[in-house]
Amino acid sequence: MPHGKTWQVVAGSAAIGLAVAAGAVAAAGPWDAGQRTAEREHAAGRDHVVASGPRTAAPTPRITPPAPSAAPVLAPVPAAAPGTGKGSSAGTPPDPAALKSLLDPLMNADGLGTVRTGTVIDVATGTVVYDHRAGTPSTPASTTKLATATAALGTLGPGRRLTTTVVVTAAGRVVLVGGGDPTLELGGLADDTAAALKARGTTSVRLGYDTSLFSGTALHPIGPNENLAPVTALMVREGRLDHSSSGPAQRADDPAESAADAFADLLRDRGIRVKGEAAPAGGHGGTRLAAHQSAPLSELVERMLTDSDNDVAEALARHVARALGRPASFAGAASAIPDALRRLGVPLAGAAFHDGSGLDGDDALSATTLARILALAASPAHPEMRSVLTGLPVAGFTGTLADRFRGGGGAGVVHAKTGTLTGTNTIAGTAVSPAGRLLAFAFLTHGTDSPGGAQKALDHLAAALTTHP
């Protein structure tokens, strides 16, 4: 997709065509002058590195540019009103009775399943303005990633980077030590490792690899799946065996071994002889030769939400577990994520976590939990959470919503994470009302036999928030 000014013109034309009320332009939105926070910070960091001359530390990681933003549609979050801890918002707050009259018929659409829940919150005041069995837990599918993102940002911070290292042990073995970065690229790390070895007068090595940062089974309970590689602390490009960067793809059976083999080939290309095959080895206590850092966590969160990236979600869940002293496993992450959310005051009645991605059908979250997460992310009191909102796909434009909301209301002004499993469809995000209010919403349905019909019904619910005061 196009970026920069060209994209802004396209998005601006779409906004005009939608006849969005003037008040929406002044609404509270999770944007910094139309540019995602992490994207701007990465650009600034890149420019600093270029200006500083030759590299003297670990290479700046190559980062796939985030999806383009619909810049002209939303404006920055207003400052908090003194003494309230909450932002102001344009226009009149939504009328709960009017919303009920508007949304209740849509909640009865034929396409939805036997379980139908939903809620809408006026973000500026925190007031629930619509409630349809909102406290009833249901299968969240990929909207679980909103919880994972919030737990990760709250526990680790938006600036955290995941570091992969190469060390040399006392026994003389060179070990590639996984840092839990599923987006890892090896070219720069191989450059720096080969240079460090040659500086030591070494041109022949034995290579090992260390995956001890994570523990437990690597295979998700759903089994081998093109939507998720085996979860390991060492992998390159999510274990993908093609040139894709998102979506389903054939994955390596053992991503760590594949990464080590690829690294060995790269070292050979750089004049380092690698003797024998790469083998599992411990790198603890070794002397560091080189390191590679991931994009900052804020950018990883944006990627995870925009593309519904399961590999990033499971990796971040394990990092949350480690930060809270739990095993870096499926079970450890499943207990750490709700712990992190409780510390932030997120209501979790009836919640159940079994993974960080939402691929597990036994996960359970309520519409209340999801909407409160989004309202928290929009709060001026929690700027560290902003990438939860900036990573949301934009209806009709980006990510998993690029092909939805077209030809109807909501395009450009609904930003939402969706979820789909067999019999389950969900959507949770933000919308700007014509009165200029930022609304957080969540609608979940389970027991449907028509995924397409359920998606359309959920889209109509979200779009309705942008067409009625």
Catalytic residues: 142, 145, 308
Pick the closest to residue 387 from 398, 378, 397 (CA basis).
378
Give how far Cα 9 sits from Cα of 29, 37, 122, 174, Å: 19, 20, 30, 51
Q: Report how far residue 162's alpha carbon sits from residue 178's, in angstroms, rounded to the nearest whole number.
A: 9
Which amino acid does the sequence have at 449? D
Residues forming beta bridges with residue 443, ordered by sequence position: 118, 427
How would you class 288 by CB atoms within 10 Å of its CB: exposed for 0-12, middle for 13-18, buried for 19 or more?
middle
- Alpha helical stretches, state H, 133-175: 144-156
∠ Cα 358 224 330 (to 5°): 45
Provide DSSP, 38-101: HHHHHHHHHHHHHHT-S--SSPPPP-PPPPPP-TTT-BPPPPBPTTT-SB--SSPPP-HHHHHH
The answer to whether 216 and 330 have CB atoms below 8 angstroms apart is yes
Residues 31-35: contacts with CB within 8 Å, 24+ apart?
A: 31/69, 31/71, 31/74, 31/75, 31/76, 31/390, 32/76, 33/71, 33/76, 34/8, 34/69, 34/70, 34/71, 34/72, 34/74, 35/69, 35/71
How far apart are the C-alpha atoms of 362 and 427, rounded to whole Å? 18
Instruction: Give the HSE-up count for residue 413: Cα atoms under 13 Å, Cβ half-sphere.
Output: 35
Spatial distance between the Cα atoms of 74 and 163, rounded to a whole number of angstroms = 34
- Residues in Cβ contact with 5 at an 8 Å cutoff, skipping those fewer than 6 apart: none
CB 228 within 8 A of CB 220: yes
Interatomic CA distance for residues 184 and 51, integer angstroms = 25
Residue with tokens 């900036």: 390
Q: Where are the alpha helices (DSSP H) in 328-414?
A: 330-343, 367-378, 386-390
Are 411 and 400 in contact, with CB atoms under 8 Å apart?
Answer: no
